[in-house]
A and B are shown apart, each in its own frame.
Chain A
């Protein structure tokens, strides 16, 4: 569960989205770095690198739409 103090909205996020947010909470990052950092933790070996990258980019777009992250 995530609470956005700026919007007052509560979000129920999947585990991959939650890990992205926690990673970004540590420091700003980019999609390729997140893919490298999260692949081992999310046991992404069942996916190709492209599939996992696509998934991360898609989730980043969704998190941005929800106002939980900001692209710069």
Chain B
């Protein structure tokens, strides 16, 4: 059963009482909350995701609550809990849904060690995937949002999961996080894209989340083969330019963007080696999304 099978009031009731067991990629999250804004955003952005049985195992048990302090009446807040423990400082109640998204990323990046985890967007087309590692502000998520609205499948906008052993990319399609000017840029680029409500004054500025395509969610168990590692960089006014990067330099830069490379030790090195060996590596500068889409469409895998 998908989330969309529940009416808004049923979803709200379940989230408040027993919680829901939400399948995102290969993970199951047990989510409980009584915050109405979160329930609405989950109903909107996770409509296509399936629900596991209540008795199923859950990888992560998370909840979003309102702390019982004086702020409950004056500047109310939201609190993210993992396995019953508070992980982050509370945020303004208005930021509860972005907090859930950030918290879910934290759950994966801090607990999943059967994969090499890279801070990167991942998209796939024709059986070949592009990994786009980049620090915040590089235009990674904007480019990712544009690509998935032009025929690429979303594997993740934030966390590349490279399976230790065979180097396959495990999808984790969740809403794409956009901030500030990128929100309107993508709204204009794809007027049919579905967005959560904009939330202002977060630590990242104004944020909104874009719904992952139904196809990306339906194919969430379909692993992908890496073909390209592309380091994107948005530069106002720049002509789109794809520059070849040596595999050794790419290796070190991907390792710098990994959450658990060192933790995995020799397995991390072997996984990274097979990932880079299978990839053509590039630096990519762009300013116009259409130019970027054209260049990505022309990418050819290694022969």
Contacts and interface: CB of A to CB of B under 8 A. Distances in A.
B265 interface: yes
Contacts of A10: 251-252, 255, 261, 269
B112 to A, nearest CB: 19
B248 A3 contact: no
Contact of A12 (B251, B262, B266): B251
A1 interface: yes
A12 B254 CA distance: 13
B266 A1 contact: no
Contacts of B249: 12
Task: Describe B's contact surface by its main secondary structure.
Answer: helix
Instruction: Say what secondary structure dominates the interface of chain A.
Output: loop
Interface residues of B, number: 11
Contact of A5 (B251, B261, B262, B266): B266
A12 B252 contact: yes
A64 B255 CA distance: 23
A3 B261 CA distance: 12
B273 interface: yes
Interface string A2-13: 010100101010
Interface in A1-58: 1, 3, 5, 8, 10, 12
Nearest to A11: B252
Nearest to A3: B269
Interface string B235-264: 000000000000011011001000001100
A5 B248 CA distance: 19
Nearest to B247: A1
Given A10-B255, A12-B248, A12-B251, A1 B265 contact: no
B247 to A, nearest CB: 9
Contacts of B251: 1, 10, 12
A8 B261 CA distance: 10
A3 B252 contact: no
Interface of B: 248-249, 251-252, 255, 261-262, 265-266, 269, 273
13 contacts: A1-B248, A1-B251, A1-B273, A5-B265, A5-B266, A8-B262, A8-B265, A10-B251, A10-B252, A10-B261, A10-B269, A12-B249, A12-B251
Given A5-B266, A10-B261, 8 more contacts: A1-B251, A1-B269, A3-B266, A5-B265, A8-B262, A8-B265, A10-B255, A12-B251
